[in-house]
Structure 1
């Protein structure tokens, strides 16, 4: 095995419990009791520990379901929610732990200088920085050369804290020791949630043991046992201390002004002073062991340069380069001095990691993948409750710092996403999306499509994207990220193979991605194009998620008119709308920015046409275009009434369009359209729906005449509405019209 192969006590329990028994226990616990009383203190301890306990349960479940490597929270989150989410929390968490080293050392220095100033010749502020820097160098040397030696030192620290607790619980102070000085000023009591925010960091030490996950002999056994045992130990001590203080200190005002109340109450004061020193140093040392290993795990996964993760020493287990970087960051924080402004933000990253650990375990249980078989079973609701508790605690402690932490994490996620790192492991994102889709489909299946939420769900029968790009461009302009789009191609059956289908799908998908077209790709084997297209129209889709609009190109092969008419009739019979795009062989004018809609009297068609015209104007290609609605009447006498109806229509429905009514002065409507729309960029026209008993030959003849009549025109989009939707309501057309 690589690493030190630490056991439960040495690798998880000791660093975790030493971080839990920190400076807050020695210097702030009495203040907590003085502000909220015994009942309030016990409630705060229980609430705070419950959050940590729920996170410990989630860690236990995750650790017994996967082979946990180095990096602690980063490793588990990245293997569950993806490398982007792991890096988004791993990088800020590294800096939080590195800066945390400076905080813990600052606490040690403050406690030391209250007892004795070893550098009296220097200004106190400068002396504090010198002592902190020297302490950092000593602790880094321990972590740099051997984590094993560092943890052995923690045994001595653990013993010192144990002795200090014994001294505290044996204390029986005299009334004189508990007297409040006459000159003392009693501060006002703080609110419950303010006190909770001060105490909560005292129970967040489980990250220390989790950070050494890559150096454990059996992470699946050690992480659950060591983490939960440390949480339990901390809870018992933290529940006993306020009860003992309440019995020994009858005047709660003393608790508000005496930050060294443990020293006042204890049987011997020296063990308490040593305990404060030991707690500060152990927390700093735990962070110095965990921060480099998070950085090392990020380097191994290529999130940061790989050389940073190089190992040295026994079994290449000591990340000395990462430790040196952690030292540099911590030294910068020490020299910076006042870090109170960023302290709340750093705490948020710890809570955010706990929340994501709970969320990972909860989602794994909710998805119920066959691979989710933890030996330590936890109901997914418990883990999700833990996630909610973590995020709620973040907001209660500092809403502003929470927002900053979320913004920073989101920014890192975005930057890693842009790098498009290819992880060599599977995560649960596919399972999460599948679960959401399953839920949505079952809900959607109980609903009927309505005019208010209608979107063109398009199946584009495009063939090769390179040869018929105009069809894909049209489909993409209509979909524009708000509708579903599928690009399909028919593969001749004699050339069919699973490998070839997959290769074609990948090739088309990559081609579309380069042109920023979001679409699904479907390759369908079939003996011929029209047979395959008909089969796709009948069968493509899943449950209620079936295409409601079919987009295809025209055909000018007269021998195929009958079969093509059969396809159009099939689309209409299956109640799918049809858009048939006929590309112009004319060179368009340079300023072809007009979209012309010709209204021939079919109200269903015009409703769909105007909906599609509105959709296409939202695309970048057509967003500057102007919409013109035109109609033709037989005589001058009809012109005024028709013009008034069109103007009233666009005014009532707030459609940004211009209207024009033309008189039929030529023998063919199509000659007028050809002349008036000569410079249009796109022309929408309606198609006649097939009659009930109309044969394929008859409708094929209609199609042939339509193609002949519309020759030498700009690009045409023929529209045939067939879906059982009142498209007049989609665009808002009045029922009176």
Structure 2
């Protein structure tokens, strides 16, 4: 392979080089561990854990804490697994899901995740304000909120690096708060006996009317949803494959120990009545209360800071992939690699929500969006593991049970916390997915969807192979269309499309010979793409052969072993006789291979006319006009006509030719046939006389369908076009079709 000179570097390589030198600059400790730890050690630890222990008892509280952390640990394990199998880009969870299930699924989760992360900033600011007003009750709440927001915004706008440096200070403050709590072990404050299982009396807000175990779980669970704080910085980590697993899992482990230990401390330092009625137990019983107050303010400020740094990164990734119109502006980066346009929009949204003064009504929805994100990450890994694709080679492997339990746990938690908001959140995700599907987004990288569909197809193929081969009820038109040149397809394109739409398929086989294969292949590919745009599944190939008959025979025999094997051979009968012998031989080979046949004879003048009327010619049934399941060579003709009737929205007519004495029996037979075949709104017509006379006298149609004789006179078939003054398709059943099924 020739070496690439510096001047030949592609734009993508230049961008990647810039990203590696400008953006990716944070390590495991500062980029993942600290923001994740600080987000988990939030306001619930300082203000609500005592209430959890008071209601559930120590054993019940430990069970709730453990259950919450098990669910997020499974998610973190799944996230760690998938990040070691892909080149994760900016956007954290959005990047993971997009690279696995496509931009549509990634965007449908990424947009709500961005909004949830943004609204969470407001929630954290409100939490900070409550702690501040505890110390300074005379301060105006709105001014506190705006001051905190302005501080956060300036820090995030200047640099994420500055934000991370400030988080080190906050980490020290929180550690001081925990030390102040732990130091009471030596003061004799832990004097109360432990209540192992609580009576769940409730809260002061509901006059202690009682709560359930799951309500208490729902209160504590949001504390564990900070595990994405580090992953949101995925585009700016030096080594995300290493940093995200180590940083996230270690932060979860340390947080779990702190929550379990502080739960034990609360159960020992305060009576149950005070735990459920006083949200400031940790402040009141600490060795030095100001340290805990500082920890509370630091926890809420750091959570808000992590979110206001992480949310714009998600928006920047969404804009880069044009998930929403006009998103390009938010994908732009400043000189120092900061997504400042995304920061500006995020700041504007936070400011608007601050003015609403209360987000309690949508707080559960924010948690739902986080849970849906976690569920999708688990689901991605579960699907990858089940497919056993060779491309799934994570360096951090986990048992298959982990992502399954993580998915189930997240779904279960959604409906435990608030089933109504769970359904609303899922509905919003589905609506965004449908919108993005219609956007026809250009995927900049491969994902596992093709592998997923291939695996499903293989599974289906194996199951189908165990079923009876001839399933008449599952029949659909799968056409094999051999062509000498792409020009042949132009005149019959519309007809072929309507013969198979919507569930059938087309296999185009070009007979190459000495032609320019490259140009011929491009023409066939263009036609295949045109069929695909018409929602018709199409594949094409070229056989290098000068012998058209032998090439068609090879195709017939080869394709019989495929899963989507053709069941109808579509031939076009030229106006000249040059290929008549060849076509005779091909028709016989198709019958021998149990293929249905559609021989199309074009009307050179009218072509397909208005495509508004179809005649189906049925041979007379004398002397026995009884209807049976064996209709003779009629099934494929009727199925073909009915499909054209539906796709063209045309009038369909069945015609038979009889002697004068059999008219009544013929009409009765056609009535019974159409009733048994469930063909409503189809006209019946009986002609009296000879077949040739009937062809001239029958009602005019744009297409006439007739049976193909065993040894057809091709010149006579051509004459029928002139007689009927319409295009004709001569049809032969394979024996596997049944209009009555």
Give the TM-score of the pair, scaled to structure 1.
0.87
SS of 1:520's equivalent in the other structure is strand
Deviation at 1:375, TM superposition (A): 1.6
Give CA deviations for 1:208-232 in whole Å, capped at 9, x if unaligned.
0111122222222211111100111
Which residue, out of 656, 659, 670, partners 2:692?
Answer: 670
Give runs of aligned pairs for residues 484-503 of structure 1, distance below 5 A: 485-495=505-515, 497=517, 499-500=518-519, 502-503=521-522
Task: Provide the C-alpha distance between the structure 2 equivalents of 1:712 and 1:191, rounded to a whole number of angstroms.
Answer: 83
Deviation at 1:575, TM superposition (A): 0.8
Question: Would you say 1:232 and 2:260 are equivalent positions?
Answer: no
Give runs of aligned pairs for residues 284-363 of structure 1, distance below 5 A: 284-303=304-323, 305-312=327-334, 316-363=336-383
Alignment partner, residue 655 of structure 1: 679
Alignment partner, residue 722 of structure 1: 734
Question: Would you say 1:618 and 2:646 are equivalent positions?
Answer: yes
Query: Once structures 1 and 2 are overlaid, which stretch shifts more, 560-569 or 537-546?
Result: 537-546
Task: Provide the C-alpha distance between the structure 1 equivalents of 2:606 and 2:239, rounded to a whole number of angstroms.
Answer: 72
**Number of residue equivalences:** 695
Which residue, out of 551, 569, 574, partners 2:593?
Answer: 574
Give CA deviations for 1:670-719 in whole Å, capped at 9, x if unaligned.
32033213x2233222222x3xxxxxxxx35x333333345332222222
Give CA deviations for 1:629-667 in whole Å, capped at 9, x if unaligned.
22222232x2222322322333354421455453533xx
Cα 1:95/1:502, change in 2 over 3 Å: farther
Alignment partner, residue 628 of structure 1: 653
**Is the contact made by 1:509 and 1:521 (CA closer than 8 Å) also made in structure 2?**
yes
**Is the contact made by 1:109 and 1:128 (CA closer than 8 Å) also made in structure 2?**
yes
Unpaired runs of at least 5, structure 2: 1-20, 196-200, 622-629
Question: Would you say 1:642 and 2:666 are equivalent positions?
Answer: yes
Cα 1:26/1:517, change in 2 over 3 Å: same
Deviation at 1:574, TM superposition (A): 0.7
Alignment partner, residue 156 of structure 1: 169
Give CA deviations for 1:388-415 in whole Å, capped at 9, x if unaligned.
3223322333333333333333343344
Query: Once structures 1 and 2 are overlaid, which stretch shifts more, 409-418 or 285-294?
Result: 409-418
Give CA deviations for 1:274-305 in whole Å, capped at 9, x if unaligned.
22211110100000111122222334445454
Task: Provide the C-alpha distance between the structure 2 equivalents of 1:709 and 1:285, rounded to a whole number of angstroms.
Answer: 81
Deviation at 1:145, TM superposition (A): 1.4
Alignment partner, residue 12 of structure 2: none
Query: Once structures 1 and 2 are overlaid, which stretch shifts more, 275-284 or 4-13?
Result: 4-13
Task: Provide the C-alpha distance between the structure 1 equivalents of 2:692 and 2:408, rounded to a whole number of angstroms.
Answer: 65
SS of 1:36's equivalent in the other structure is helix
Task: Provide the C-alpha distance between the structure 2 equivalents of 1:673 and 1:184, rounded to a whole number of angstroms.
Answer: 88
Task: Provide the C-alpha distance between the structure 1 equivalents of 2:43 and 2:597, rounded to a whole number of angstroms.
Answer: 72
**Is the contact made by 1:17 and 1:234 (CA closer than 8 Å) also made in structure 2?**
yes
Alignment partner, residue 238 of structure 2: 217
Cα 1:722/1:4, change in 2 over 3 Å: closer
Cα 1:301/1:598, change in 2 over 3 Å: closer
**Is the contact made by 2:511 and 2:545 (CA closer than 8 Å) also made in structure 1?**
yes
Cα 1:657/1:473, change in 2 over 3 Å: same
Which residue, out of 365, 370, 375, partners 2:385?
Answer: 365
Cα 1:543/1:195, change in 2 over 3 Å: farther
Cα 1:506/1:538, change in 2 over 3 Å: same
Task: Provide the C-alpha distance between the structure 2 equivalents of 1:19 and 1:112, rounded to a whole number of angstroms.
Answer: 19
Cα 1:660/1:84, change in 2 over 3 Å: closer
Give CA deviations for 1:186-223 in whole Å, capped at 9, x if unaligned.
42222233332222211111110111122222222211
Cα 1:198/1:472, change in 2 over 3 Å: farther
Task: Provide the C-alpha distance between the structure 1 equivalents of 2:129 and 2:703, rounded to a whole number of angstroms.
Answer: 76
Question: Would you say 1:539 and 2:558 are equivalent positions?
Answer: yes
Cα 1:728/1:372, change in 2 over 3 Å: closer
Task: Provide the C-alpha distance between the structure 2 equivalents of 1:558 and 1:409, rounded to a whole number of angstroms.
Answer: 61
**Is the contact made by 1:211 and 1:290 (CA closer than 8 Å) also made in structure 2?**
yes
Give CA deviations for 1:434-488 in whole Å, capped at 9, x if unaligned.
21111111121111231222222222345666654453322322322222x1241
Which residue, out of 682, 685, 702, partners 2:706?
Answer: 685
Unpaired runs of at least 5, structure 1: 120-126, 691-698, 731-737
Task: Provide the C-alpha distance between the structure 1 equivalents of 2:665 and 2:47, rounded to a whole number of angstroms.
Answer: 88
**Is the contact made by 2:478 and 2:566 (CA closer than 8 Å) also made in structure 1?**
yes
Deviation at 1:432, TM superposition (A): 1.4
Query: Once structures 1 and 2 are overlaid, which stretch shifts more, 648-657 or 233-242?
Result: 648-657
Question: Would you say 1:472 and 2:469 are equivalent positions?
Answer: no
Cα 1:717/1:112, change in 2 over 3 Å: same
Question: Would you say 1:200 and 2:212 are equivalent positions?
Answer: no
Give the TM-score of the pair, scaled to structure 2.
0.87
SS of 1:341's equivalent in the other structure is coil
Task: Provide the C-alpha distance between the structure 2 equivalents of 1:523 and 1:349, rounded to a whole number of angstroms.
Answer: 50
Query: Once structures 1 and 2 are overlaid, which stretch shifts more, 679-688 or 37-46?
Result: 37-46
Cα 1:610/1:509, change in 2 over 3 Å: closer
Which residue, out of 722, 731, 741, partners 1:711?
Answer: 722
Question: Would you say 1:18 and 2:38 are equivalent positions?
Answer: yes
Task: Provide the C-alpha distance between the structure 1 equivalents of 2:701 and 2:574, rounded to a whole number of angstroms.
Answer: 22
Task: Provide the C-alpha distance between the structure 2 equivalents of 1:443 and 1:236, rounded to a whole number of angstroms.
Answer: 49
SS of 2:228's equivalent in the other structure is helix
Task: Provide the C-alpha distance between the structure 2 equivalents of 1:39 and 1:685, rounded to a whole number of angstroms.
Answer: 81
Which residue, out of 583, 589, 598, partners 2:617?
Answer: 598
Give runs of aligned pairs for residues 390-539 of structure 1, distance below 5 A: 390-448=410-468, 449-461=470-482, 467-483=488-504, 485-495=505-515, 497=517, 499-500=518-519, 502-513=521-532, 517-539=536-558
